[in-house]
Amino acid sequence: MSIRKVLKYGTASLREPSKEVHKVSQKIKVLVDDLLDTMYAQNGVGLAAPQVGENYRIFVIDVSTNDEPLNPMVFINPKIIKKSGACISHEGCLSFPEAFTDVRRYANVMIKAMDRNGRSFVLEAKDGTLLARAIQHEFDHLNGVLFIDHLINRFEAEAELEKHDLPPIEVDKLLDEPELQEEVDKLLEAKAEKKE
């Protein structure tokens, strides 16, 4: 078990799609353990294998709070089998040290994956919980997609990246998500009305 170096935004391999795991070998188990060690060392909520330079379809998540016992979750060859609803998620990423911005996410997801022992499981996360949002964030990494690709306010995101000495937004990577954006607009309107 060891702590790996986390690649920063701007590294080309973060944009590459990762490959399926064919066998949960000893080598893969070591990678899973290293991902967990690295995530905990950096106080992260999640970490995907491509972030440590291993382009395999693996990520780990732990959404437990400080006063709860650790709850490591391992996802190998994950597939999102259902998604619905929308939410606004204020996100950061270990590959974007200290930068945070609002992004579009589904509120509910159902995911199928294998655990560290190669056993298949299905998990549902609802109502825009941290787990629901983390699953989408980490899953994206396996396809070379980064959280800023879902940004809601380009100027805000751009300023945040600049403030933390990170490369600018990659405009050609921005995702067009009209249905999600429509839902997000409704949420923003409701928020504005509440404030008045």
Choose the catalytic residue: 16, 54, 68, 138.
138
Minimum distance of Zn ion from residue 195's CB (angstroms): 30
Question: Which residues face 94 on adjacent strands?
Answer: none
Torsion of CA 106, 109, 115, 118, to 10 degrees: -110
- Between 36 and 93, whose beta carbon lies closer to Zn ion? 93
Contact map string, positions 99 to 138, toward Zn ion, x by CB under 5 A: ----------------------------------------
- Between 88 and 93, whose beta carbon lies closer to Zn ion? 93
Under DSSP, is residue 112 helix (H, G, I), strand (E, B) or coil? strand
**Contact between 93 and Zn ion per CB under 5 A:** yes
Question: Which residues face 125 on adjacent strands?
Answer: 109
Q: Which stretch binds Zn ion (CB under 5 A): 17-25, 32-40, 85-93, 112-120?
A: 85-93
Contact 66, 48 (CB under 8 A): no
Minimum distance of Zn ion from residue 7's CB (angstroms): 10
Q: Is 138 a catalytic residue?
A: yes
Write down how long the chain is.
196
- Tokens 């998990």 — which residue? 123
DSSP state for residue 52 in the 8-state scheme: G
Which positions touch Zn ion (CB under 5 A)?
93
* Residues taking part in catalysis: 138
